Amino acid sequence: MRDFFQPGRSVTYGLNGAAAASSVHASQVALGILKSGGNAMDAAIAACAVQCVVDPMQTGIGGDCFALVAMGGGSQVEGLNGSGKAPGALTADYLLSKGVNKMDATSAHSITIPGAIDAWVRLHEKYGSMDFADILKPAIDCAENGYVVTDRTSVDWQMGVAKLQKNEAASEIFLKNGKPPAAGTTWRMPKLAATLKVIAKNGRAAFYEGDIAEQMTETLKAAGGLHEASDFAETGADFVAPIHSEYHGHTVHQIPPNGQGITALIMLNILKRLDMNGLDPLGAKRLHLEAEAARLAYLARNKYVADPMKADVPVDMLLSNEFAEHLCGFIEVGKAGDPTGANALERHRDTVYLTVVDKDRNAVSFINSLFQGFGSGIACAKTGVLFQNRGFGFVVDPDHPNCIAPGKRPMHTIIPGMVTKDGKATMSYGVMGGGYQPVGHAHVLMNVWDYGMDVQEALDCPRAFYDAGVLDVEKSIPASVRQELADMGYQLRDPDVPLGGGQIIAIDPETGVLSAGSEPRKDGCALAY
């Protein structure tokens, strides 16, 4: 339980439903959907659509989506991979012939076909209960009639100005006289509202076929892309069987590759062998062992994780006890290990994660992203759609399993999480933040299971992030701990913004009480009733 003499948040409790999002606007919409009779999936899609408007640097309909779903509070977890694919004409040989041997985050070649809308429609068809048009109404209202920009959103908006100024359409949509909106400003996006209205009326086909798809294709071609209308028409999310691992009697579920959820499971497989229980949760040894587990897990991710439809990804080997034992042999307690190759891909703070649980204990773990802040920075002037840059996750090396190829999905960073135990869903959670996410997943789960924190304390707890020998350390980590880590051989760095952002809803299997927590590093909140 929190120390009430200290600033902080209390856990949000409820019996009938709960929602937690990194935007107050989104959390309010989700709870309103639940109270009006909608289920958890209706509420999750509605909340995400709102965030695609109110947090445009974090997410959008030009991005991707993943979800984990546990219906009726049971332990049967289903997954959806809504990540987009590279254009059918784009090959590594083409890029190499143009002198490109590394993906450029602001190039049209880093724009994969947006998968979010297709994912929402498929999730709604399988799990939703409300009319899809009604689910999108709150987002349309925000875009058309305006919303108030919040504090953290204004900070992230400001950080994206230089990227936006490079694209005329993006500047027109997201800047006013070349400047971003300050906190407290009312902002409208009428072109996006018009696009959402067409999608609400005509569904998936409105986005992937016809005028909107043609306008997006024209924009991408003008930016140098090889995208065709057929690439949009052929886009389809896939329902997938989650992968999982055990930690202290809990089963942790993740979306399989091409996502990096397997990285979090590898970390937990290492950490459960290192006797983390009883360590100071803010102590140097805990953060050191977490950093070493991250170093080794990211090495494995960078070597193996790719689109399993286009490459051989040895999932069973990566999750095996033998592999975890092998990796533990590379940890020397009290000393930073060799950082070579252990790059987390990108230290950024973008993506939105939200979770909803309803009265029937349907639990939805939902994540939607443009990847980097404002994605590629390339927008479609006629539709208001800003394009992601997920293709930046590819490599341009024909011998690597994650090499770019036609119709291939890149290694993907966004990862929703779900926990089950004894035949029931017990926690729907996620921690956003690009490459940080696997570390965030391991960190908050350990906070609950190893250190006895409640869900809000687990999110409040200070964080560190290992990336290729550099350890980002939040300001709230004590100076004495920083010195111990430096003495172990880590290069310490103060991150420019706090690390990641998460949401958790825990379900008590005995009482049915919902306990919800929300990230203090973001603008959102947890609500329940």
Catalytic residues: 351
DSSP one-letter code for 85: -
Helix 261-271 / helix 437-449 crossing angle, nearest 10 deg: 40
Residue 249 buriedness (CB in 10 A; 0-12 / 13-18 / 19+): exposed
Which pairing describes strands 491-493 and 470-473: parallel, antiparallel, or unpaired?
parallel
**Assigned token pair, 209:** 């076929």
Using CA atoms, how far residue 269 sits from 105, 350, 426, in Å, is 32, 27, 20
> How many other C-beta atoms can be found within 10 angstroms of the C-beta atom of residue 176?
11
Residue appearing with tokens 């990796």:
327
User: What per-residue string of b and e applies to 54-68 under the rule 16 or more CB within 10 Å gives b?
Assistant: bbbbbbbbbbbbbbb
Nearest to 445 by CA among 325, 315, 267: 267
Residue appearing with tokens 């587990």:
293
Which residues fall within 8 angstroms of residue 134, CB to CB, at 6 or more apart?
Answer: none
Using CA atoms, how far residue 118 sits from 125, 316, 378, in Å, is 11, 29, 21
Beta bridge partners of 518: 503
Which residues fall within 8 angstroms of residue 504, CB to CB, at 6 or more apart?
Answer: 20, 355, 427, 428, 429, 444, 455, 458, 459, 515, 516, 517
Using CA atoms, how far residue 76 sits from 48, 253, 418, 426, 431, in Å, is 24, 10, 11, 12, 22
User: What per-residue string of b and e applies to 461-493 under the rule 16 or more CB within 10 Å gives b?
Assistant: bbbbbbbebbbbbbeebeeebbebbeebebeee
- Look at residue 184 and give its three-state secondary structure: coil
DSSP per-residue letters across 472-503: EE-TTS-HHHHHHHHHTT-EEE--SS-S-EEE
**Assigned token pair, 55:** 């947090």
Q: Measure the CA–CA gap between 167 and 326, rounded to whole angstroms.
A: 48
DSSP per-residue letters across 391-449: GGG-B--TTSTTB--TTPPPPB----EEEEETTEEEEEEEEESGGGHHHHHHHHHHHHH
- Look at residue 209 and give its three-state secondary structure: coil
- Are 167 and 175 contacting, i.e. CB atoms less than 8 angstroms apart? no
